[in-house]
A and B are shown apart, each in its own frame.
Chain A
């Protein structure tokens, strides 16, 4: 009886968070739409006036006007854009001349490898380094790890990318400068090996920068745990450092680390914008820059909403996992 009650509250909580996420997403799209409407640049003038406009049907142009035309009031434009967006029609990219959803799908498929690899590497490495430093607080191991993390946190990702580019691509010439697809090759002709080779440097840059934040936060948590009453008592009971880590440190640090890991999605994505631009990696980040520079408003809005959805989705997953892993929430206790 009691168990089913708890299950019910869990589902209710997840539902609540899901609704909150959807509302936030709606607000994000309103805010983003509001921001691009403020711009002095008229996206239609900037793009559609060009030669390629001829290739568009009259109907498409009318559609574009209803979203971005300066004559229409912004609220109406938003509603017509949002209602189409809701039905899966994100509009036509002004630069790529293809549906935004298609462009995003292709770019996302490219990015997901890069982001995924960097996310896993920075998460695992950051956790290990942070936990180690926190356990050994004040020793030289801690100082080296903390120093490295602080230094990297102060280093702009794009400059680190430039340095790696100089070392590996220009100086040692062991890795390609950029481009996920070598020029002059059909997309189908790209081998997996090519893809991997071109993803190494961007993934490396993202991992190196991603590690530092996770390390620093995990370290702080670990230090808190090491100063807790239960670790004090464990020590009083003769547990060794290893036993304390195995029994208490790991168990207690993994929960905040999990949250941190999902919260870091936003940061990794932000980093990918810069890194993809530098390595000419045709992913979502590069598309965002291109769209921003070229006033491709439909694409820019599409990417904003999708990436916000990914970030909120990450937070939602973290909350759900927390509920599953933490016995105090799982068993319907008072929580933290």
Chain B
């Protein structure tokens, strides 16, 4: 009995995580205008009933600001992770199917990207794009595809040896037909889980690079900007400016992890004897 519940619980967990993330994303957009409202009559308030996360030195409601910032981070994360995952899918399949030369080029690029520490490469790309939104999205997209590409490459190499693919080849289907009709459907669950598990990294790196001053501009209520600004006020004892936005960021990242892992369990019955 308990065993059945374990599986239902996983599905429930997945649903809750997705719901919560959707709430943050939508909530942040709904309150976007409220997030920039300044009111000096209520500045520097510690967390209280009407301002859950307190207010900052310009009297902005930190809860709303955090929500808006996270919403933006999630949307950037979705975009960058999506691009990254598609890149991984494409390069992974190409690497495994287009012969030795292409394979070694792709492996070479992977080694190259992994050779430069992530943050440093992000700084370089952001600098190349003249900072700002475009720089973050391109930077995060170009740096996060490597491990998923490796995974998909390995999976395709295995698939190539599978009997039904060999039959399809004998029947004269072109490599692209085989890839599209037989490999993509098989790879889809892996791809989906990989995609969701990319989000947390994408969001963390977006926040980090913005925090350092290379990402979104200071006018935007991004979570990295919020935390970066809070630094100047920490020494004055305004702890709430950093604590709560950070906690909510951690929660968001954890929820994406939960969503990805529980989806993996649901799609792969063998992995779960929980």
Q: Which residues of A contact B (CB under 8 A)?
A: 24-25, 27-28, 31-32, 35-36, 38-41, 150-151, 153-159, 162-163, 165-166, 169-171, 177, 266-267, 269-271, 273-274, 277-278, 288-289, 292-293, 295, 300, 303-304, 307-308, 311-312
Contacts and interface: CB of A to CB of B under 8 A. Distances in A.
B120 A38 contact: no
B200 interface: yes
B257 A150 contact: yes
Contact of B114 (A156, A266, A303): A266
Given A270-B117, A311-B117, A165 B246 contact: no
B156 to A, nearest CB: 22
B128 A28 contact: no
Interface centre among B120, B207, B243, B246 (most CB of A within 10 A): B120
A270 B249 CA distance: 20
A38 B112 contact: no
A77 B187 CA distance: 44
The 10 closest A-B pairs by CB, nearest first: A159-B246, A154-B253, A270-B117, A38-B128, A35-B128, A270-B119, A292-B123, A40-B130, A273-B119, A269-B117
Contact of A156 (B115, B204, B234): B204
B111 interface: yes
Contacts, number: 136
B234 A300 contact: no
Interface string B237-274: 10100110010011001100100000000000000000
A38 B129 contact: yes
A158 B228 CA distance: 9
Given A156-B204, A162-B230, A274-B211, A312 B249 contact: no
Contacts of A154: 200, 204, 250, 253-254, 257
Interface of B: 108, 111-112, 114-120, 123-130, 200, 204, 207-208, 211-214, 227, 230-231, 234-235, 237, 239, 242-243, 246, 249-250, 253-254, 257
A215 to B, nearest CB: 16
A158 B208 contact: yes
B239 A24 contact: no
A38 B114 CA distance: 21
Which of B125, B211, B230, B235 has the most chain A CB within a 10 Å cutoff? B211
B73 to A, nearest CB: 11
8 contacts: A156-B208, A156-B249, A170-B239, A177-B235, A271-B119, A273-B117, A304-B116, A304-B124
